Amino acid sequence: MASMFWIAVLLGLVEGLTEFLPVSSTGHLIVTSALLGFEGERAELFEIFIQLGAILGVVVEFRQKLFKLVFELPTQRRSRTFAVKLLIAFLPLAIVGLALRDLITTHLFNPQMVAWALIVGAILILIVEGIRIKPNVHDATNLGWGQAAWIGLAQMLALWPGFSRSAATILGGVVTGLDRRAATEFSFFLAIPVMMAAGCYDLYSNFHHLQPGDGGWLSLSFAISFVVGWAAVRWLLKFVATHTFRAFAYYRIVLGCVLLIYFH
């Protein structure tokens, strides 16, 4: 197994780079951990904790919108409505994910299943990109009730490690009429309650797997994930304004095929 310093650095980099891109951070972390020989409950705890660092990057990037939303909840109907729509989109994954957590962890958390999820997700990205859908929503806060519900259902695809929560929610948004930037922003907003809930639950359940000295390595991974994740968020928002997601699909196909060969 590699030294804990390099494990902490590499996991932080991988998480920060991939969390918000439609390429699956969970899948990349599973594969990275396997290649580093860092597996088991302790590794899963690291992977969960550093996701909170990437989420902090979203919070910092959207701090003005988030503060405005929170402060306006008691007085502004528009803010309350958007908060409820986030809840609607959040619930399907939370309910099904909690019910199937043990099944998913036991049977899907391996490089081979990640590889297939990468490929299947890539095919769906190419299909959606091939359909010319005229967007009718250009601001994430203006999406409709049905659109929020559909994105929530689409997000359940992310229960398959390697599919990508970002890919599922962004594709779900684009299919229902959000433009790419609005779909990407809503995906970022939705990531906050989803990943905070999942992260806190798993930390509480698996905290006893930590070893002496892990606090420092977790802090290092968290900091790297935060900085790199924040940069990735800013880059992706600029990228989607003028590009499709086809490049990510081709990357997923190549990586999926390489993984199937390597872990055969």
CA atoms of 200 and 42, how far apart (whole Å): 15
Q: For position 119, what pLDDT does the model report?
A: 97
CB 54 within 8 A of CB 19: yes
Q: With H, G, I as helix, E, B as strand and everything else as coil, classify residue 205.
A: helix
Helix ranges (H only) for the chain are: 4-18, 25-36, 41-61, 63-72, 77-99, 101-107, 111-130, 145-155, 165-175, 180-206, 214-239, 246-262
The percent of residues above 70 in pLDDT, for the chain, comes to: 99
- Burial pattern 41-56, b for ≥16 Cβ within 10 A else e, equals eebbbbbbbbbbbbbb
Q: What is the pLDDT of residues 181-216, one digit of tens each?
A: 999 999 999 999 888 887 777 777 777 777 777 788
Q: Model confidence at 6, in pLDDT bands (50, 70, 90)?
A: very high
Asked if residue 161 lies in contact with residue 117, where contact means CB atoms within 8 angstroms, the answer is yes
Q: Is 90 exceeded by the pLDDT of residue 10?
A: yes
What's the CA angle centered on 10, arms 9 and 12, to 5 degrees?
A: 65
Residue 2 has pLDDT above 70, yes or no: no
* Domain containing residue 44: 4-262
Mean pLDDT of 231-254: 94
Residue whose entry in the numeric block shows the structure tokens 């650095």: 9
Q: What is the pLDDT of residues 80-102, one digit of tens each?
A: 999 999 999 999 998 998 888 88
Cβ neighbors of 218 (< 8 A, separation 6 or more) are: 8, 46, 49, 50, 210
**Cβ of 102: how many Cβ atoms within 10 Å?**
9
pLDDT band at 1 (very low <50, low <70, confident <90, very high): low
Helix H or strand E segment including 116: helix 111-130
Task: Provide the whole-model pTM.
Answer: 0.90
pLDDT tens readout for residues 116-161: 999 999 999 999 999 888 899 999 999 999 999 999 999 999 999 9
Q: What is the pLDDT of residue 22?
A: 94
Total domains in the fold of the chain? 1
Q: Provide the β-strand partners of residue 112.
A: none
